[in-house]
């Protein structure tokens, strides 16, 4: 029985608030979902005994196990095999683009989207460096390819796992099988791949990389802090004189003197010993500034450390990946120098003009870090922190492979068992993850580290919220409105509305959350029309994975923004026509396969 109109209004208001918080981005999406759930519990809409039942939901268990399996496949040397394969490619740009994007599509069909992208990013950047091209040419296609590949199987992306189980929970039908997404998913992925290779790459701006040791990237200027030591050559000079003393291009964002912050000091400001300058510059210009002035890098935690040209230290760039321990933390709270023996020199955040001090900056997924230390410390420190190195080969490529034949055999058996409906997806992949731990394909610590806990909490919290939307009649109210638009009963028009709404929603909130919210609405729309729920659930699945319009809709898009040097609007330029391709291909396919 549906709840009162009052309860329905509360659910709508709380979900609208959640969307605003998702878009705002100040709170991480898992905290937003948990906060939303708690409000509904305190409002007596979600019963307390059901508040945390989402953690036992099959979709949540499946997502966690697939992440562990992905880590084991990476340990088994998948990246090494890819790198060897791609090393034989010629210099042709379209050949490289097609090979890299195609492999990303294939990998992401059987492992987490972000996991596939993380495997391919260092290979793509190394390819760009070797051929003298900007990585911006390759990285956005890789990110979009990881989203397209996720459409192909039930385990390709969390939204597919959600849709598969919701079909069982609400539609009284068996969950979608492993390859039941494939007829539509393969067609859409193929069309998207062709568009990217033939047209899409032409819409991507080519970002010019700074020259020098770190010339493999098109990262814009870093924010860093430098300190003026007493013996500095230009201590006591006017800021304008310092800028005129060299050809380097940099800006002073702020000045800290005696614990007092001064924003954007003028060119007439005298720079004194002990001052800390917040500088915006690329690595090459920063190096020139240090060498000419005698100033020194200040550590990310605010301490003074070594100069960037000292001894046998190396300087490297790395990007914060999802599930990194750095996400949401400040450099002063991490203390990389003490814990890992590496120093954070600077941070670049694409699309945002950083004004605050480096020590108090809250790091986020996609931030590019400039770090320094001895080679061993940098390799192990970045790996321990869950940060993806962007210079040279991935640190994992030189590590021993872990039981490759056994790991691959376990994975293939799990796929066969689910494809033939011998056992359910969640049981097959939990068993596979367990066996991979037993045979040493992944250590227990690596298994726990590989689980993207924010996504797990998000999904577990959103499932009771979806239940509240249904129990109060909210999903039926929205479904009635959609059915009134397609009053003539046009399935194609209704699919277009559902798919486009999910697609737009997934561009501004996490795509898993978009799938959880839209799935019950799609089911109520189907019931109102008197048609099968399957075509509309497939439209939700496609729309949730087509998060191409913004860099915040999916972690894959966020992850490449910094290394690719992209602006927010670059995603719209490529993502909008790609979205139209997805719509044009998916709707006829859905009707042909699921509503003949």
pLDDT tens by residue, 107-161: 999 888 888 888 888 888 878 877 778 888 899 999 999 999 999 999 999 999 9
Residue 73 predicted with pLDDT over 90: no
Asked whether 301 and 339 are in contact (CB, 8 A), the reply is: no
Q: What percent of the chain has pLDDT over 90?
A: 38
Specify the 3-state DSSP secondary structure of 25.
coil
Residue 210 per-residue DSSP state: P
pLDDT tens by residue, 316-354: 888 898 878 888 888 888 888 888 888 888 888 875 667
In a domain, 304, yes or no: yes
In a domain, 280, yes or no: yes
What's the pLDDT band for 79 if we cut at 50, 70, 90? low
Contacts of 307 (CB under 8 A, 6+ apart): 290, 296, 297
**According to the model, what pLDDT value does residue 3 have?**
53
434-440-444 Cα angle (round to 5): 60
What's the pLDDT band for 179 if we cut at 50, 70, 90? very high
Highest mean pLDDT among 165-169, 194-198, 266-270: 194-198
Contacts of 265 (CB under 8 A, 6+ apart): 239, 252, 254, 255
Whole-model pTM: value is: 0.80
In a domain, 346, yes or no: yes
**415: phi then psi, degrees, rounded to nearest 5:** -65, -45
In a domain, 261, yes or no: yes
Say which CATH number the domain at 312 has: 3.30.70.1450
Q: Please, what is the angle between helix 136-150 and helix 93-108, to 10°?
A: 30
Task: Please report, for residues 220, 408, 418, the alpha-carbon distance to residue 422 in angstroms, rounded to integers and kept in the order given.
Answer: 52, 19, 6
Q: Is 109 exposed, middle or buried (0-12, 13-18, 19+ CB in 10 A)?
A: buried
Q: Name the one residue in this structure whose structure tokens are 């699945």.
A: 541
β-pair partners for 371: 316, 344
Least confident of 170-174, 179-183, 460-464, 571-575: 170-174
In a domain, 508, yes or no: no
In a domain, 514, yes or no: no
Q: How many domains does the chain have?
A: 1
pLDDT tens by residue, 206-233: 765 433 333 444 455 678 888 999 889 8
Q: Which two tokens stand for residue 326?
A: 């750095």
Q: How far is CA 564 from the centre of its chain?
A: 14
Rounded distance, CA 156 to CA 101, Å? 16
Domain holding 373, by residue range, is 222-389
């Amino acid at each position: 029985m549906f709840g009162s109109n009052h309860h329905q209004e509360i659910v709508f208001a709380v979900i609208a608030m959640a969307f605003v918080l998702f878009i705002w981005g100040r709170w991480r999406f898992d905290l937003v979902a948990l906060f939303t759930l708690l409000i509904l519990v305190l409002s007596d809409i979600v019963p307390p005994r059901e508040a945390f039942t989402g953690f036992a939901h099959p979709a949540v268990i499946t997502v966690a196990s697939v992440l562990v399996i992905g880590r084991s496949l990476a340990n088994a040397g998948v990246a090494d095999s890819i790198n060897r394969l791609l090393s034989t490619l010629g210099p042709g740009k379209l050949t490289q683009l097609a090979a890299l994007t195609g492999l990303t599509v294939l990998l992401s069909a059987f492992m987490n989207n972000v996991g596939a992208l993380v495997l391919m990013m260092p290979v793509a950047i190394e390819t760009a460096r070797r051929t003298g091209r900007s990585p911006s040419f390759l990285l956005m296609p890789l990110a979009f390819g990881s989203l397209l590949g996720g459409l192909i199987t039930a385990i390709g992306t969390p939204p597919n796992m959600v849709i598969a189980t919701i079909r069982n929970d609400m539609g009284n039908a068996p969950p979608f099988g492993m390859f039941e997404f494939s007829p539509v998913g393969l067609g859409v992925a193929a069309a998207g791949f062709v568009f990217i290779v033939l047209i899409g790459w032409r819409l991507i701006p080519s970002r010019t990389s700074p020259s020098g040791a770190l010339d493999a990237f098109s990262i814009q200027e870093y924010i860093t802090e430098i300190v003026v030591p007493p013996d500095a050559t230009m201590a006591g000079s006017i800021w304008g004189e310092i800028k005129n003393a060299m050809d380097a291009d940099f800006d002073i964002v702020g000045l800290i003197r005696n614990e007092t912050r001064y924003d954007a000091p003028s060119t007439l400001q005298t720079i004194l010993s002990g001052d800390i300058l917040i500088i915006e510059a690329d690595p090459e210009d920063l190096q020139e500034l240090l060498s000419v002035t005698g100033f020194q890098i200040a550590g990310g935690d605010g301490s003074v450390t070594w100069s960037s040209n000292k001894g046998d230290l190396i300087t490297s760039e790395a990007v914060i990946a999802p599930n990194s321990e750095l996400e949401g933390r400040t450099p002063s709270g991490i203390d990389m120098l003490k814990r890992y023996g590496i120093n954070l020199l600077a941070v670049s955040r694409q699309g945002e003009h950083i004004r605050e001090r480096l020590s108090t900056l809250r790091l986020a997924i996609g931030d590019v870090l400039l770090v320094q230390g001895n080679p061993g410390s940098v390799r192990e420190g970045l790996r321990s922190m869950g940060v993806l190195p962007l210079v040279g080969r991935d640190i994992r490529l030189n590590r021993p492979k872990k039981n490759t034949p056994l790991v691959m055999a376990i994975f293939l058996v799990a796929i066969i068992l689910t494809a033939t409906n011998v056992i359910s997806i969640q049981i097959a992949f939990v068993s596979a993850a367990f066996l991979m731990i037993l045979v040493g394909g992944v250590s227990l610590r690596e298994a726990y580290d590989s689980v993207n806990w924010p996504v797990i909490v998000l999904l577990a919290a959103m499932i009771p919220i979806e239940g509240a939307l249904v129990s109060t009649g909210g999903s039926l109210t929205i479904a009635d409105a959609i059915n009134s638009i397609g009053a003539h009963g046009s399935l194609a028009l209704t699919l277009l509305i559902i798919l486009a709404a999910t697609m737009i929603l997934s561009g501004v909130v996490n795509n898993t959350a978009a799938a959880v919210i839209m799935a019950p609405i799609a089911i109520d729309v189907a019931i109102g029309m008197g048609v099968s729920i399957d075509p509309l659930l497939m439209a939700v699945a496609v729309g949730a994975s087509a998060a191409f319009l913004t860099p915040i809709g999916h972690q894959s898009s966020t992850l490449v923004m910094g290394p690719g040097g992209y602006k927010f609007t670059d995603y719209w330029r490529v993502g909008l026509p790609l979205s139209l391709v997805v719509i044009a291909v998916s709707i006829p396919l859905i009707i042909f396969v699921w509503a003949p």
